[in-house]
Structure 1
Amino acid sequence: MTELTETPAPLHDRRPAPRLHYAWVIAALSLLVLVGSAGFRSAPGLMMDAWNSQFGWSHGLIGMAVSVNLTLYGLTAPFAAALMDRFGVRLVTVCALLTISVGSGLTVLMTHPWQLILCWGVLVGLGSGSMAGAFATTVTGRWFKARQGLVTGVLTAAGAAGNLIFLPVLSWLVQAEGWKAAVVVVSLCATAVSVPVLLLMRERPADVGLLPYGAAPGDELPPATSGRAVSRTLRVLREASRTRQFWLLAGSFAICGATTVGLVGTHFIPAAHDHGMPETTAAGLLAMIGVFDVIGTVASGWFTDRVDSRRLLVVYYALRGASLCFLPQLFAGSVKPPFLAFVIFYGLDWVATVPPTVALCRRYFGADAPIVFGWVLACHQIGASIVSTAAGVMRDKFGDYDLAWYGAGGLCLLAVLLCLALRSRPTSPALTVAAAQ
């Protein structure tokens, strides 16, 4: 296939730059999409007891649907990035939102476990995965020449913001009106979000007669690509996997998923409860981690625009590992200042790794960075799934989570070594993944 490269409009044909660059409209729209996506995906955890009571389904069975969701969330991302290049961000995003709407809405009719797995596992997993990290990477890469790190940080923080916004509302609905009311709200919200995307989303700055934000006339612009999405995604993986940079990034990001979503996100509440802390208190602390996650990720995006991303990752993983090693000594039946300090410190570091990881994908893999980051994100989810199960096995075998926390600290040390092994630049142009053919 022939590579299609977008030719910028002549300068005399470009409109005068508006006071508010349209890139910020696209960023706000993307933030809305990602906030909603995070909230929709997290809803099943609130309904586990309700489904258990009504249908008699075990927590393990319901957890299987959530596992399918997480797996597809990770594996869909690289293909979604290629589909966005092939068919457009607007079409893919609208289809993803409507898929979530259908998957959520159909659960009001379910009577068998396979229907739960199909609706929440497959449909919602595919829909939310299509709006994962590759979506933010695609948008920032096309619309921003400057402030890429900051905007990536803001969009990454949308995941925590979505949980903070949706979980209290959906939790109240489940308690007051039942789980069916909650899933109907999720379905309607997903449909509602698709409307502004359909009306306002544009593919590239050239569509509105602009250069990317911060770009000057004559700057190299991200190329438009065309080709078969699936074959391109697999080709990018094949070519990227020949480079050491890909494996170093994938390995460190798998450890990121293992030490956040897989361990703390899944086992923090039961671990605190093992030490006598009420589950409601532990859940509130986990929500507080989400609050500081927003602050930390936005700040990380700001630092990414100014500091070498490799150094940032080394610092982030080192601090995370140290905090996890201290955690077993901090658990108690009540919240004490040292434990509160951990919540704040760890929250600031939760997904601060995302902006510098995205920046390194751009540095090493150029135009194919969204797809490469999609594969790196898939490794993040795989790492999360492995440690989520492993930590539970350790708890069953030893009666506490101490070994899991210390093991996570050791993994963070390994991530530090992986990041130190990254070179500041690709060793040769051949190592950069080529643009789509």
Structure 2
Amino acid sequence: MASRALDPPRWRAWWPAILLGFVTIGAYGVPHYSFGVLLPSLRESTGWSTGAASAAYSVGALAGGFVGLVAGRMLDRAGSRPVLLGSLVLGSAGLLLASWARSPLEFIVAWGAGGGIVAGGLFYHVTMAVTVRLYPDNRAAAFSVLTLLGALASPIFYPIAGWLVEALDWRGALRVLVALMVLCVLPGALAVRSRPSLGTGAVEVDEPPRHPLRAELAQPHMLWLLVMVMCASGAMSALILHQVPAMQATGISLGAASALAGARGLFQMPGRVVLTPLTRWAGVPGATLLCYTLFIVGTVALLSAGPLVLLGLFVVATGLAVGLLSPLHGLYSAEVYGEARLGTLMGVQQVAVAGAGAAGPWLAGVGYDISGSYAIPLVVIALVQAAAVGALAMQRRATRSVAHPPLAAPPQAVGERE
């Protein structure tokens, strides 16, 4: 069996997943985590408005969705190396150009292009699809390796970015951060290879004949999966971006709120350690339902926070949930989409996730501006996550209908009454 072949020696079996983990650290470290650290220095040294500078992040997030669609198709047709290496080269060039921007428009265009290419070609929707093809019999364990390393992106890049901004200005810090991203990503981009699944030299997969992409996505079990991940991603991105000011609103200091946010990030790692035993016990859908429930519990705890114990519950519950949901969404998608078009369909999913991930934080901010409180945004976040639970139930129901279609009524005998 393939699983036994992965045992001796372990490093030879797992080095592709480890390298892809470092790809994830570098990719998320700069456009996703470092932006917030660069923002205050950027705003102070240039005089640009917060809204104009933040628009670059939103443009990059949205562009990443559409680049992800192209990257997914390329992954299916050409394999992993052109996607990983091409995204690294072009994305790094765009981010470096952003460090020389002299106007908000130049910065938005350069960061939006560079950040979008990195997000679309190097984020989890690509590295998870590659991992599925490299470890078809050990997906959960391989995803644990990949995402456990990926969870180190924020603990590594937050402090490094902060130190660089203090030692240099935001422009110099960004250039050094891009160099660090290249060091993290380049070994995996060069050494990891997954073959294409479509066209010449494709991996043979034992699957039913494929339908046209549009017809395939129109199937209810596919649509409900997209709705599910969109709701969950929008809720998670809104909560993560606004967690510090929401905790401050409970009466604690900025330093304490930032420390609790860092602790919440660290709690993502234990969640990923238990991924394999959890999916064996509850299955991927059951584990996903458990995480959605934990996320709702944590959000309600923050909404009700006053006593420190409720903030602690928020930190633990949402940390474990977010840590598990990244690999669980990847496993769930792999089960639903199958291997043949996994890259393309994950790319389509990334478009939906990017849109929800950009809209969620903005809508939460608008809710705060209108109400003057985080109560309404947090209630809406919990309700959107509850909608993800409903979409999960509908997706399972639609999947059962596909697997067990209703039997046709037997023909009536001549003379039989209706």
Task: Please classify the TM superposition score into its range, dividing by the shorter chain length.
Answer: 0.7 to 0.9
Q: Choose from 329, 336, 339 the match for 1:364.
A: 336
1:277 aligns with 2:252: yes
* CA deviation after TM superposition for structure 1 residue 30, in Å: 0.3
Conserved? CA contact 2:81–2:193, under 8 Å: yes
Larger CA deviation: 164-173 vs 140-149: 140-149
Summarize the alignment of residues 92-111 of structure 1 with structure 2, pairs less than 5 Å apart: 92-111=83-102
Choose which of 423, 428, 431 in structure 1 pairs with 2:396.
423
CA distances 1:319-366 after superposition (whole Å, capped 9, x unpaired): 22132123222147xxx2331232012100014223333333222321
* Change in 2 beyond 3 A, CA 1:187/1:389: closer
- Give the CA RMSD over aligned residues: 2.7
Which whole-Å deviations, capped at 9, do the CAs of 1:61-98 have from their partners, x for residues lacking one?
01100001111223322321221222221222112112
Deviations for 1:285-331, whole angstroms, at most 9, x for unmatched residues?
Answer: 21211111122134235423453222222222122213212322214
Give the structure 1 partner of residue 23 of structure 2: 33
Deviations 1:168-207 (A, max 9, x none): 0110110122212211212212333354235422335xxx
Cα distance 1:201–1:57, how it changes in 2: closer, same or farther (>3 A)? Answer: same
Instruction: State the one-letter code of the partner of 2:103.
Output: H
- In the aligned structure 1, how far is the partner of 2:286 from the partner of 2:353? 20
Task: Compute the TM-score of the two structures, normalised by the length of structure 1.
Answer: 0.81
Partner Cα separation in structure 2 for residue 198 and residue 75 of structure 1: 21
2:326 is aligned with 1:354: yes
Aligned residues: 388
Q: Determine the C-alpha separation between the residues in 1 that align with 2:24 and 2:14.
A: 15
* 2:288 counterpart of 1:313: yes
Preserved CA contact (<8 Å) 2:59 2:108: yes
Whole-angstrom distance in 2 between the partners of 1:186 and 1:44:
11
1:251 equivalent in structure 2: 227
Relative to the length of structure 2, the TM-score reads 0.85
Query: Taking structure 1 as reference, are residues 385 and 16 closer, same or farther at Cα in structure 2, changes over 3 Å only?
Result: closer
Q: CA deviation at 1:426?
A: 6.0
Distance 1:297 1:51 in 2: 34
User: Which of the numbers 165, 181, 184 marks the counterpart of 1:174?
Assistant: 165
Structure 1 alignment gaps of length 5 or more: 1-14, 205-222, 228-234, 432-437
- Conserved in 1, the CA contact under 8 Å of 2:304 and 2:310? no
Match of 2:36 in 1: 45
Question: Residue 77 of structure 2 contacts residue 197 of structure 2 at CA under 8 Å; is this kept in 1?
Answer: no
Q: Does structure 2 retain, via aligned residues, the 8 Å contact 1:39–1:162?
A: yes
Q: Rate the CA distance shift 1:426–1:130 in 2: closer, same or farther, 3 A.
A: farther
Change (3 A) 1:87 1:426: farther
Preserved CA contact (<8 Å) 1:138 1:370: yes
Aligned to 2:299: 324
